[in-house]
Structure 1
C-alpha cells in the first residue's frame, strides 16, 4: 500500500466524507488502520478520533501518523476523549457527534481497509439520495493479520432470504428478526444520527442506527469485502462462527435472563415508535410492534417445558417465529431453555 495520500483533486466534488474512529488501548494495531485510511483512493474530508480513556499510546500514535498527512491533504483532524471509559456504543456516538461531513464511515482501531472502500461505498450515497446507511462484508483475520477462512456474513450464518432483503433495500424484514449489520463495515448519512436520537439501553450503536435506517427503507448491503476485521483478545465487540459452545450458551440461558434482556430493549424501542422522532414507514412500524407483541407473549410461557410445547407449536405454525425471530431455532430455544 502506498503511503502517499490521495490529492484533493481525487476526491468527489459532491457529498463530504468523514471517518469516525473509536479507540481504546489500541497501540498494537492502530498504525496499520490509519495507514489504510490515508491510502484510500478517495480520502475523507475529516477524521474524528474518539478515545475511550486509553492508558497506552493509542492517541499519540494516531495523532503523529495523521497530523502531517492530514494537513498536507487538507483533511481536518479532531481528537476527543472521555474522562472515564464509556464503552463502545457511547464512544462511537461521541465520535459521530463531532463530525460535520454529510457521510461518515465508522472505523475500528484494529482493522485495516482495502484501498477502494471509501470511494466505492460512498458512491452509493451519490446514486441513492434516500440511502441512510450502507454496510458490507469483511474477511476475519487473527491477531497477526492472517485470514481465518471466514467472512463476517458467514459468521452470522446469514440466510439467502436475509441477504435478498438487505441487498434489495428491504432490510427491515431481516433486522426485525436479528441484527445483521457490523458497524465497522458501514457508512452512514450523518442525518441518520439526528433521526435516531439517543441509543436505547440494551442496543449496540450499529444495531440501533441500522434499525432506524431500515425502518425508512434506507439501509443497503453491498455484499463485497472491503476490509479485514481483526479478531483478538482485546475486541470489545467481535465476530465468531456460532458453534456448539455458542449453541449451548444460548439454549442454556435461563428464560428469566433472556426475558429481562429483551424487555429492556423493547421498552426503548416502543418509546421510540411512539415518539415524535419516529419517521419510519407504516410497514416497518407494524413489523416492530409485532416483534414487541411476540416477545410479550414469550414472557407468558410457563416454566414447565411440557406446558410450553403447544403454545410454541401454535406460534410456529402461525409464522411468528419465522417473521420475528429465527424460525425453528428460536422455537426450540424457547422450548428447551431452563425456566429460571
Structure 2
C-alpha cells in the first residue's frame, strides 16, 4: 500500500487550525506522517501545533518553525521537500478533511501508476462549517467543456487558460518533486505543480467532495482570496500587464523543454495569442476590428480563450 505524507503549512491560523489537525488523525486510513511547518506565526498557532504533537504520540508528527517568514509558496515548497513517503497531500490550515479522504486518494493512485497529480472536489462552507450550498467545482465554474477535456487527458489546454486546481485538495507523487521544485517566480504552487505534472505524467480529478473548504475573511488565497477571482479589466495598462506577465510565465515553462511536440506547438500558439492580445489592446477602436475579426475566424479566440466573449472584451476595453 502506498505510504502517505501530509504537509500542513501554517501562518496565524489559530482560529481554525485545531479542527483541521484533528481531522487528520481521525482518518479511516491514518497518514504515515504529518509534517507541519509554521511560517513565523505571531498568534497561538505554534502553541497549538506543539500541543497537537504532544497529545498524539502514536502518530508520526514532525513539526518545524521557520526562522524567517517565507510566504506561503516557499513554505509549501519547503514542507514538500521534507516529505518522505510516496504520496504527498497538501493541506491548508483552515479546512476540515472528510474521514475517507486518504483511503480514497490512495486507491486512485494505486489504480493508476501514471497518475502524478490528483485534485478533488470539496464542500464549500462558511466560517462555522455551515454549508454554503455549492461545491468547489461549481464555485470555480468548471464548465462541462473543461471537464470533457480533463476526462480525456487534455489538462494542459485547460490549465493554460486558467487554473482549476485548488491546492488544499491536491495530492502528488513524491518522485516528481525534483521536477516541480522550486516554484518559479510568479507562479502559485497549485498552478505550477499541476501544469508540470500534466507534461511529465498525468493529472486527474476526483469528483467526490473530500474536504470542507472553508470561506472566511482571512483566506490567504482561494475563493475568498486573490487567486480565484475573475478579473475584469477597465484600463489598457492592466490588460497589457496581465497578458504580458502570463506570457512571460509561459515562456519560462517553454524553456524547460518538457512538453511533447504537440504540447509545445500548442504552447507556442497560446503564447503568440497572448502577445496578439497585448498588441491589439494598444490599438484605437477602428483599427481593432479587422485583426480581432480575423483571429475569431481562424479559431484562435476559441482555442486559447473564451471565443466571442474574449474577442468582444478585447474590442471594448478602454
Same fold (TM over 0.5): yes
For 2:289 and 2:224, locate their aligned partners in 1 and report how far apart those are by CA, in whole Å. Answer: 31
Does residue 45 of structure 2 align to residue 58 of structure 1? yes
Deviation, structure 1 residue 334 = 1.7
For residue 287 of structure 1, what is the aligned residue in structure 2?
Answer: 266
Q: Could you list the runs of 5+ residues in structure 1 that have no partner in the other structure?
A: 1-13
Deviation, structure 1 residue 138 = 0.9
Q: Is this contact kept in 2: 1:192–1:209, CA < 8 A?
A: no
For 2:243 and 2:78, locate their aligned partners in 1 and report how far apart those are by CA, in whole Å. Answer: 25
Q: Is this contact kept in 1: 2:10–2:37, CA < 8 A?
A: yes
Does residue 58 of structure 2 align to residue 72 of structure 1? yes
SS in 2 for 1:200: coil
Aligned pairs (5 A) from 1:129-168: 129-168=113-152
SS in 1 for 2:220: coil
Assess, with a 3 A threshold, how the Cα gap between structure 1 residues 306 and 87 changes in structure 2: closer, same or farther. farther
Q: Deviations over 1:300-325 (max 9, x none)?
A: 11342332222222212222222222
Q: Is this contact kept in 2: 1:36–1:115, CA < 8 A?
A: yes
For 1:329 and 1:138, locate their aligned partners in 2 and report how far apart those are by CA, in whole Å. Answer: 29
SS in 1 for 2:184: coil
For 1:322 and 1:81, locate their aligned partners in 2 and report how far apart those are by CA, in whole Å. Answer: 47
Deviation, structure 1 residue 171 = 1.1
For 1:97 and 1:45, locate their aligned partners in 2 and report how far apart those are by CA, in whole Å. Answer: 16
For 2:253 and 2:198, locate their aligned partners in 1 and report how far apart those are by CA, in whole Å. Answer: 14
Does residue 6 of structure 2 align to residue 19 of structure 1? yes
Assess, with a 3 A threshold, how the Cα gap between structure 1 residues 217 and 173 changes in structure 2: closer, same or farther. farther
Deviation, structure 1 residue 48 = 1.2
Does residue 95 of structure 2 align to residue 111 of structure 1? yes
Deviation, structure 1 residue 154 = 0.9
4+ runs of 1 displaced by more than 3 Å? Answer: none
For 2:12 and 2:241, locate their aligned partners in 1 and report how far apart those are by CA, in whole Å. Answer: 32
For 2:169 and 2:78, locate their aligned partners in 1 and report how far apart those are by CA, in whole Å. Answer: 18
Q: Could you list the runs of 5+ residues in structure 2 that have no partner in the other structure?
A: none
For 2:224 and 2:11, locate their aligned partners in 1 and report how far apart those are by CA, in whole Å. Answer: 21
Assess, with a 3 A threshold, how the Cα gap between structure 1 residues 84 and 325 changes in structure 2: closer, same or farther. farther
Aligned pairs (5 A) from 1:77-116: 77-116=61-100
Deviation, structure 1 residue 91 = 1.7
SS in 2 for 1:137: strand
Does residue 285 of structure 2 align to residue 327 of structure 1? no
For 1:58 and 1:167, locate their aligned partners in 2 and report how far apart those are by CA, in whole Å. Answer: 40
For 1:146 and 1:63, locate their aligned partners in 2 and report how far apart those are by CA, in whole Å. Answer: 28
For residue 31 of structure 2, what is the aligned residue in structure 1?
Answer: 44
For residue 253 of structure 2, what is the aligned residue in structure 1?
Answer: 272
Q: Is this contact kept in 2: 1:170–1:219, CA < 8 A?
A: no
Q: Is this contact kept in 2: 1:175–1:211, CA < 8 A?
A: yes
Q: Deviations over 1:129-188 (max 9, x none)?
A: 111100111111111111111221111211112112223432112112111111111111
SS in 2 for 1:264: helix
SS in 2 for 1:238: coil
For 1:111 and 1:92, locate their aligned partners in 2 and report how far apart those are by CA, in whole Å. Answer: 16
- TM-score with structure 2 setting the length: 0.92
Question: How many residue pairs align between the two structures?
Answer: 315
Does residue 196 of structure 2 align to residue 196 of structure 1? no
For 2:309 and 2:40, locate their aligned partners in 1 and report how far apart those are by CA, in whole Å. Answer: 40
Assess, with a 3 A threshold, how the Cα gap between structure 1 residues 128 and 309 changes in structure 2: closer, same or farther. same
SS in 1 for 2:264: helix
Deviation, structure 1 residue 239 = 0.9
